Amino acid sequence: MYSGSSDGESHDTPSQRKLPPASSMLWVRNLRRYIGSGAGLGSEALMELEIKRILFEMFKEKQLKSQESGTIPSFYKKKPEEGSISQRVQRLAKYRFLKKQSDLLLNSDDLDALWNCLRENCVIDDATGAEKMNYEDFCHIASVCAEQIGPKCRQFFSPSNFMKFEKDEAGRIAILPFYLYVLRTVSLTQARIDMSEHDQDSDGFLQSDEMESYILGLIPNLAQLSDMLESFKQTYCRIAARKFFFFCDPHRRGKACIKKILLSNCLQELMELHQESEEEVTETEQAENWFSLTSAQRVCDMFLALDKDGSGSLSKQELKEYADGTLTELFIERVFDEHVRRGKSSRGNSREMDFDSFLDFVLALENKDTPEGLTYLFRCLDLQGRGFLTTADVHSLFRDVHKKWIEGGNYELCIEDVRDEIWDMVKPSDPLKITLNDLLGCKQGGTVASMLIDVRGFWAHDNRENLLQEEEEPPEEESQ
DSSP for 341-381, written as a single string: ---TT--TT---B-HHHHHHHHHHHHTTTSHHHHHHHHHHH
pLDDT in tens, 398-455: 999 999 999 888 888 888 999 999 999 999 999 999 999 999 999 999 999 999 999 9
Q: Give pLDDT, residue 438.
A: 94
Give me the mean pLDDT over the 46-70 stretch: 79
Confidence class for position 48, pLDDT limits 50, 70, 90: confident
Q: Give pLDDT, residue 61.
A: 84
pTM of the model: 0.77
Neighbouring-strand partners of residue 123: 132
φ/ψ of residue 131, rounded to 5? -85, 120
Q: Give pLDDT, residue 258.
A: 94
Give me the mean pLDDT over the 465-470 stretch: 68
pLDDT in tens, 275-294: 765 455 556 666 788 999 99
| Rg, C-alpha atoms of the chain | 36
* CA 283 vs CA 292, 299, 323, 475: distances in Å: 10, 13, 18, 19
C-alpha 393/C-alpha 388 separation (Å) is 9
Helices 391-407 and 445-453 pack at an angle, to 10 degrees, of 60
Give me the mean pLDDT over the 344-360 stretch: 77
Residue 471 burial (10 A CB sphere; 0-12, 13-18, 19+): exposed
Q: Give pLDDT, residue 255.
A: 92
The sign of the torsion formed by the CA atoms of 39, 42, 47, 52 equals negative
Q: Give the contacts of 124 (CB within 8 A, at least 6 positions apart).
A: 130, 131, 132
Give me the mean pLDDT over the 110-133 stretch: 90
Q: Which amino acid is at 204?
A: G
SS3 content of the chain, % helix, strand, coil (to 5): 60, 5, 35
pLDDT in tens, 233-286: 999 999 999 999 999 998 889 899 999 999 999 999 998 888 765 455 556 666
Rounded to the nearest 10°, the torsion over CA 154, 158, 162, 165 is -80
Give me the mean pLDDT over the 23-42 stretch: 62
pLDDT in tens, 353-376: 999 999 999 999 999 999 999 999
